[in-house]
Chains A and B, each alone.
Chain A
Amino acid sequence: KAGVTQTPRYLIKTRGQQVTLSCSPISGHRSVSWYQQTPGQGLQFLFEYFSETQRNKGNFPGRFSGRQFSNSRSEMNVSTLELGDSALYLCASTGWGGGETQYFGPGTRLLVL
């Protein structure tokens, strides 16, 4: 099976702009989670989607949002970008969610100038 794919791999944006990142889970997986990784904060959970519904949400401001499509592909959006949003954004998929092995994509490196 193909692994988790994320596009784009790299992005450069300026403050105030918005960005949309895409994630395609492993075929057959229905749960998609998003994480933000920074040197200072480590891996922090953003949100999890299952069957097109947000099931869990981390402690991030409302500028961070996501959605999932019927084919389980997911997108996350960050509006009004801030310098502190520069990070590696990781997507992970599992079949059903909690209690299962979670597989990660390569990430999207976002740089906000």
Chain B
Amino acid sequence: GESVGLHLPTLSVQEGDNSIINCAYSNSASDYFIWYKQESGKGPQFIIDIRSNMDKRQGQRVTVLLNKTVKHLSLQIAATQPGDSAVYFCAENGNYGQNFVFGPGTRLSVLP
């Protein structure tokens, strides 16, 4: 079946450094992508989204890059802070009426 992401890696970064979290997706027909942040004991929280007619979108301290050629999505977090420690999920969605497919997630640990 369709899948987003492969494994659940852990990324450790120093406070103040930039973080890059990657995600691979398999459905070339997907045209909408979301990054979520999930802290322990909470539901996923929307961070940023991007549609397939774009290759880059910026938010506050976050940037999402989409490479449709290799079906790859990345989330860049600038000046990573302790509060950024969480599990990050990418999710893809196809056309109207289709459900979101989530990747396995990446755990980000911010070191003091």
Binding site for B on A (CB under 8 A): 4, 6, 33, 35, 42-43, 45, 48, 50, 55-56, 58, 90, 92, 96-107
Contacts and interface: CB of A to CB of B under 8 A. Distances in A.
A98 B89 contact: no
A10 to B, nearest CB: 10
Contact of B96 (A58, A90, A98): A98
Interface size range on B against A: 20 to 34
Nearest to B42: A106
Contacts of A58: 99
Given A42-B104, A99-B93, A101-B49, A90 B43 contact: yes
A89 to B, nearest CB: 10
Interface of B: 8, 31-32, 34, 36, 42-46, 49, 89, 91, 93-105
Given A33-B99, A56-B99, A107 B94 contact: no
Interface centre among B8, B96, B97, by most A CB within 10 Å? B97
A99 B95 contact: yes
A45 B99 contact: yes
A92 B43 CA distance: 9
Interface centre among B43, B97, B103, by most A CB within 10 Å? B43
Contacts of B45: 104
Given A42-B104, A43-B89, A97 B43 contact: no
